Amino acid sequence: MMTLFTGSEGRPGGRGAAAVAVLAGLALACAVAPLMADGAVVRRHDADPLVAALLDGRGSLSFALFAGLLGGALGVGWGVLATALGRRAERRLMSTATRLTALPLVLLVPLAAGLLGGGVGILALTVALAVAPAIAGLTHAELNALMRREFLTAARAAGLSEGAILRRHLIPNARRPLLAAGALALPRALAAESFAGLLGLGLPAPLGSWGASAGLAARLGDPVALAAPALLLAVSLWALCAFADSLRPGHPRP
Amino acid sequence: MTVPMPAPTPTPPIQTDALTLMAGDHALVDRATLRVEAGEVVAVTGGAGSGKSLLLRALAGLPLPGIDVAGNARVDGRRLLIAQGGVLAPRRPLGAQAAEILGHHLGLDAGGSLRRLSDALDRLGVPAAARRLDLPPDRLPDGLRWTALFALALAVGPAVLMADAPGAGLDPTVRLRLLHRLAEWARGEAVALILAGRPEDGVAGPATRALALHRGRLLPAVPHAAVAFHRGPAAVPPGGPLLTGRGVTVSFPLGRTAKGEERRLTVVHPVDLDLAEGETVALLGETGSGKAMLARALAHLPAPTEGRVAWKGRALESGDATGMRRTRRDLQVLFPDPAAALDPAQTVGAQLAETLESLRPDIPADRRARRVADALETAGLPAQTAQRWPVSLSAAEAARAGLARALLPEPRALVCDEPAASLSAEERSAFLDDLLAVRDRHRLSLLLATEQAEEGLRNADRALVLLMGRVVESAPAETLRHGARHPLTRAMLAAARGGSPRLEGEAPSALALRDGCPLRTRCPNERPFCAQAVPTLEEIAPGHRVACHYWDTP
Ligand code: SF4
């Protein structure tokens, strides 16, 4: 037959490992960036553009991690709750999530920052709320697919009680897809914060971020200063997405 | 088959001489010598990866990247290859695609193309009312999509037509009908036709000659039925009833109507069924006939919507966990996709031990490993399989692991829902052979749901034929094999024997079903009365029941 299993684009494992390496490298570079800048106190504006961007990375990445984890947990919790609470609650919770996902929720982030005076806490909370519905939708879809898998029927045929099926089969198999769904909140949070930063409404002043620096450079018309943060942002977004993707369990080949 | 062989001509449309296709130093097709006359229909069968597709591509003159070609192949006249899965663009209206293809090949304008396509559809027996040339192929039912594709090929008027896995995924009844029509056309128009497919696809049925591609060699095929296993029903006569179903019904909610009444889709209408000790009962039906739903309802996976199932006279109650577990120990299930029925997060041994722990608490924990190893060996797997993960198993190994799991609690009956559907023909017959050997050794009762009518009947004592959730014929297997009365049973048997089933078109969707006999849109014996009343099962001979108003029409 002509449908061979070769030639599927790249090994997912390879891509995931590359993404992890890129992320680790980036985090490390951002962490040691202050040492690269000459002098203990960094005056960011005269620094080398790359070092400046790495310094910004500390803000961007740690914020993405914080807000992303919050949003991911919120979204996964939402999806799990919808699946667990039975038909009616499920329909209501998920239709809310679908409707919210259709809205441009990222706009909330600069809006809230502008109106509520953008503390880090407020910003993180809005970013988390903005990404949660999409994650809830993903979680729900993953769980639904899992509940229809035949091995659960086989477990029933083996006389296991519903509790035992949940403990021994459902939860072990749900872990990775849920982790993958939750991990997708990280790139989304990074993108949401960068978007607000571009408008000058991102992380508050002492904390630099890629979005803010790129926005500033664009306003000043400085292509050299724009290139570094934009590039690092793009690389991190790719790496975070690829990482989340690599967490998904490979579907068993026919 | 009694089809006249076309007289040999000096220059047949297809002639190859020691055609060899090499990938590196590995011969995928080795010295194939093939000669197909005009008007001859040749089947080329072979398992997955046997090189059929490659051979057809070579004959069609398509590029073969990475393949070295040696030997001679000559194909005269306009040639056409229908590639695997068909070649229509899924989203463009059929008429537009026809106009383009026919315009390219024959230089016809849009109107002329459509006329030609309609003529071709006529020849393939598609009534004018069913022609939806304005629809894109992915909105057509599968059978009609394949018919349209064949019609398009007919309309081009090739001298040589090659079809790779034609009608794959269709019900045998629909596929065989279509292939016979195609073969008739090829004979009538003196077209050289090659049908390639797996041995179990029945491509050999309509063909004048069947060749098999095995290990790269192209040789005359052994008839499929002869290689299939042959064991027959259990030798011992059946005993008392084990599993009884009364009025077993399965339906799904479809939401509410405007008036607030609940609407339901009934996939199994009330069915009565008995399975005696040591008896094998086949549930036959096409895709969507409800045989799998019925089989599962009888095993309470899930419980039927209505009706009662009893095991050894005791009704099964979903609420009664202990009683249910005791029944499950005796009544095990084989699943249609055995690989999917294994938990990917546990080793094979772990889940088998879990089954044993749940169903046989009387066996001490330290003896479980021994039992698991024994069960694996009974199912034809080495005991070390217990340490493997389900992803590492092949389809055949997964099927056997499923069998091992089912045998573990030492059941009295197995409900088998197409247990070998995911296997190739050879693996399938080996697996079924082993299953039947186990049945005979342990005097198991078997409920065997399958769409392979001939195979099901050969191994069963009794069979029920299902059509859209209703039993339309039930009789001892021997009676059905030689004296089936219902048009559907006859069509399924004809398809299984390679003949042309006398049914038109495909099964309508269960949602579109109105009153009357569900077969009436396809039935050759249909009369106006068939639209008025759903035929009920009536006994026409001892133990032989048929649901057809005109069962005595030959
Ligand atoms: S009842 Fe009528 S339509 Fe139905 S199978 Fe019999 S003859 Fe055909």
Q: What is the pLDDT of residue B129?
A: 64
Partner-chain contact A151 B344, CB within 8 Å: yes
Q: Report the nearest-CA residue for atom 6 of ligand 1.
A: B548
Look at residue B248 and give its three-state secondary structure: strand
Do B170 and B33 lie in one domain? The reply is yes
Partner-chain contact A158 B354, CB within 8 Å: yes
| Inter-residue contact A67 to A187 (CB < 8 Å) | no
Question: Ligand 1: distance of its center to the CA of A35 in Å?
Answer: 87
Q: Is the predicted pLDDT of residue A250 greater than 70, yes or no? A: no
Residues 160 through 189 of chain A touching chain B, CB cutoff 8 Å:
160-161, 164, 168-169, 172-173
Residue of A nearest to B409 (CA): A158
How far is it, in rounded angstroms, from Cα B288 to Cα B451? 10
Q: What is the pLDDT of residue B5?
A: 54
Q: What is the pLDDT of residue B235?
A: 61
Do B285 and B210 lie in one domain? The reply is no
Pick from B504, B522, B525, B551 the residue to mutate for probing ligand 1's pocket: most ligand atoms within 8 Å of its CB.
Answer: B525
Nearest-CA neighbor of B281 among B295, B270, B300? B295
Dihedral of CA atoms B37, B40, B43, B49 in degrees, nearest 10, equals 40
Do B203 and B67 lie in one domain? The reply is yes
Beta-carbon contacts of residue B18 (< 8 Å; ≥ 6 apart): B31, B32, B33, B70, B71, B72
Cβ of B523 below 6 Å from ligand 1: yes
Question: Ligand 1: distance of its center to the CA of B551 in Å?
Answer: 8
Beta-carbon contacts of residue B359 (< 8 Å; ≥ 6 apart): A158, A159, B325, B328, B329, B408, B409
Q: What is the pLDDT of residues B113-168, one digit of tens each?
A: 888 888 888 888 777 766 777 888 878 888 888 888 888 888 888 889 999 888 88
Partner-chain contact A158 B340, CB within 8 Å: no
Cβ of B519 below 6 Å from ligand 1: yes
**Chain B closest CA to A125's CA: distance in Å?**
35
Any long-range contacts for B380-384 (C-beta under 8 Å, 24+ apart)?
B380/B434
Do B174 and B262 lie in one domain? The reply is no
Sign of CA dihedral B131, B132, B134, B135: negative
Mean pLDDT, range A162-182, rounded to an integer:
90
The first and second tokens of residue B384, run together, are: 């070390």
Do B170 and B303 lie in one domain? The reply is no
Cβ of B396 below 6 Å from ligand 1: no
A150 CB within 8 Å of a chain B CB: yes
Q: What are phi and psi of A222, to 5 degrees?
A: -115, 95
Confidence of residue B513 (pLDDT cuts 50, 70, 90): low
CA B430 to chain centre: 17
Do B540 and B472 lie in one domain? The reply is yes
Q: What is the pLDDT of residues B337-373, one digit of tens each?
A: 999 999 999 999 999 999 999 999 888 888 888 999 9
A2 CB within 8 Å of a chain B CB: yes
Confidence of residue A44 (pLDDT cuts 50, 70, 90): low
Residue B130 belongs to domain spanning: 14-227
Q: Is the predicted pLDDT of residue B101 greater than 90, yes or no? A: no
The first and second tokens of residue A106, run together, are: 């990222």
Mean pLDDT, range B106-115, rounded to an integer:
83
- The beta-carbon neighbor of A172 closest among B53, B345, B422 is B345
H/E stretch holding A183 reads helix A171-183
Do B173 and B68 lie in one domain? The reply is yes
- The beta-carbon neighbor of A157 closest among B52, B301, B321 is B301
Which ranges of B192-333 would DSSP assign to H, the alpha helix?
224-227, 291-298, 321-330
Q: Is residue B337, in this structure, part of any structural domain at all?
A: no
Confidence of residue B2 (pLDDT cuts 50, 70, 90): very low
ipTM: 0.77
Q: Which is the closest atom of ligand 1 to the Cα of B524?
A: 8
Q: Is residue B340, in this structure, part of any structural domain at all?
A: no
Q: What is the pLDDT of residue A244?
A: 87
Q: Is residue B189, in this structure, part of any structural domain at all?
A: yes
Q: What is the pLDDT of residue B376?
A: 92
Q: What is the pLDDT of residues B205-261, one digit of tens each?
A: 888 888 888 888 888 877 655 444 456 666 666 677 899 999 999 998 887 777 777
Strands B280-285 and B462-467: parallel
Residue of B nearest to A253 (CA): B391
Residue B153: half-sphere exposure toward Cβ, Cα within 13 Å: 30
Q: What is the pLDDT of residue B228?
A: 45
Confidence of residue B1 (pLDDT cuts 50, 70, 90): very low
Do B200 and B266 lie in one domain? The reply is no
Q: Is residue B240, in this structure, part of any structural domain at all?
A: no
Percent of chain B having pLDDT more than 90? 30
Least confident of A49-63, A159-173, B294-308, B499-513: B499-513
Least confident of B6-15, B372-381, B496-505, B515-524: B6-15
Number of domains in chain B: 2
Residues on chain B touching A155 (C-beta within 8 angstroms): 343, 354
3-state secondary structure B454-511: HHHHHHCCEEEEEECCEEEEEEEHHHHHHHCCCHHHHHHHHHHCCCCCCCCCCCCCHH
Q: What is the pLDDT of residue B487?
A: 92
CATH of the domain at B470: 3.40.50.300
Residue of B nearest to A174 (CA): B345
Q: Is residue B260, in this structure, part of any structural domain at all?
A: yes
Do B449 and B504 lie in one domain? The reply is yes
How far is it, in rounded angstroms, from Cα B71 to Cα B31? 7
Q: Is the predicted pLDDT of residue B524 greater than 70, yes or no? A: yes
| Inter-residue contact B77 to B160 (CB < 8 Å) | yes
Partner-chain contact B301 A169, CB within 8 Å: no
Which comes out higher in pLDDT, residue A253 or A210? A210
**Largest Cα–Cα separation, chain B:** 79
* Cis preceding-peptide flag for B302 (omega within 30 of 0): yes
Q: Is residue B520, in this structure, part of any structural domain at all?
A: yes
- The beta-carbon neighbor of B341 closest among A150, A160, A172 is A150
B74 CB within 8 Å of a chain A CB: no
Q: What is the pLDDT of residues B4-13, one digit of tens each?
A: 555 566 678 8
3-state secondary structure B503-546: CCCCCCCHHHCCCCCCCCCCCCCCCHHHHCCCCCCEEEECCEEE
Q: Is the predicted pLDDT of residue B308 greater than 80, yes or no? A: yes
Q: What share of chain A is helix, strand, coil (3-state, %, to 5)?
A: 80, 0, 20
Sign of CA dihedral B53, B58, B59, B62: positive
Q: Is residue B215, in this structure, part of any structural domain at all?
A: yes
Mean of the per-residue pLDDT values for chain B?
Answer: 86
Q: Is the predicted pLDDT of residue A40 greater than 60, yes or no? A: no
The first and second tokens of residue B140, run together, are: 């057509």
Least confident of A37-41, B170-174, B288-292, B427-431: A37-41
Which comes out higher in pLDDT, residue B408 or A57? B408
Confidence of residue B507 (pLDDT cuts 50, 70, 90): confident
DSSP B106-168: H---HHHHHHHHHHHHHHTT--GGG--TTS-GGGS-HHHHHHHHHHHHHHH--SEEEEESTTT
Confidence of residue A254 (pLDDT cuts 50, 70, 90): very low
Instruction: Show which of B165, B195, B227 is a domain's final residue.
Output: B227
A3 CB within 8 Å of a chain B CB: yes
Residues on chain A touching B405 (C-beta within 8 angstroms): 154, 158
Nearest-CA neighbor of B158 among B118, B187, B119, B193? B193
Do B143 and B186 lie in one domain? The reply is yes
Which ranges of B379-452 would DSSP assign to H, the alpha helix?
395-407, 425-442
Do B310 and B178 lie in one domain? The reply is no
Confidence of residue A3 (pLDDT cuts 50, 70, 90): very low
Which residues pair with residue B20 across a beta bridge? B70
Interface probe for A, chosen from B343, B389, B408 (most Cβ of A below 10 Å), is: B343
Angle (CA) B417 B421 B423, round 5°? 140
Which comes out higher in pLDDT, residue B226 or A254? B226
Q: What is the pLDDT of residues A92-147, one digit of tens each?
A: 888 888 888 888 888 888 888 778 776 788 888 888 999 999 999 999 999 988 98
H/E stretch holding B331 reads strand B331-334
Q: Is the predicted pLDDT of residue A9 greater than 50, yes or no? A: no
B424 CB within 8 Å of a chain A CB: no
Percent of chain B having pLDDT more than 70? 94
Q: Is residue B384, in this structure, part of any structural domain at all?
A: no
Residues in chain B: 554
Residue B58: count of CB within 10 angstroms of its CB: 24
Q: What is the pLDDT of residue A155?
A: 92
Partner-chain contact B391 A155, CB within 8 Å: no
Do B254 and B220 lie in one domain? The reply is no
**Chain A closest CA to B95's CA: distance in Å?**
29
Q: Is the predicted pLDDT of residue A252 greater than 50, yes or no? A: no
Q: Which is the closest atom of ligand 1 to the Cα of B486?
A: 5
Cβ of B517 below 6 Å from ligand 1: yes
Cβ of B525 below 6 Å from ligand 1: yes
Q: Is the predicted pLDDT of residue A7 greater than 60, yes or no? A: no
Q: Is the predicted pLDDT of residue B523 greater than 80, yes or no? A: yes
Instruction: Show which of B227, B262, B281 is a domain's final residue.
Output: B227
Partner-chain contact B335 A254, CB within 8 Å: no
Q: What is the pTM of this model?
A: 0.79
How far is it, in rounded angstroms, from Cα B217 to Cα B31? 7
CATH architecture of the domain with range A9-246:
Orthogonal Bundle (1.10)
Confidence of residue A76 (pLDDT cuts 50, 70, 90): very high
Confidence of residue A214 (pLDDT cuts 50, 70, 90): confident
Instruction: Show which of B196, B227, B258 is a domain's final residue.
Output: B227
A159 CB within 8 Å of a chain B CB: yes
Residues on chain B touching A154 (C-beta within 8 angstroms): 333, 335, 341-343, 402, 405
Greatest mean pLDDT among A2-11, B44-53, B78-87, B465-474? B465-474
Instruction: Tell me how many residue pairs between chain A and chain B have CB atoms under 8 A apart.
Output: 77
- The beta-carbon neighbor of A157 closest among B53, B333, B337 is B333
Confidence of residue B293 (pLDDT cuts 50, 70, 90): very high
* Single-letter code of the amino acid located at B482: H
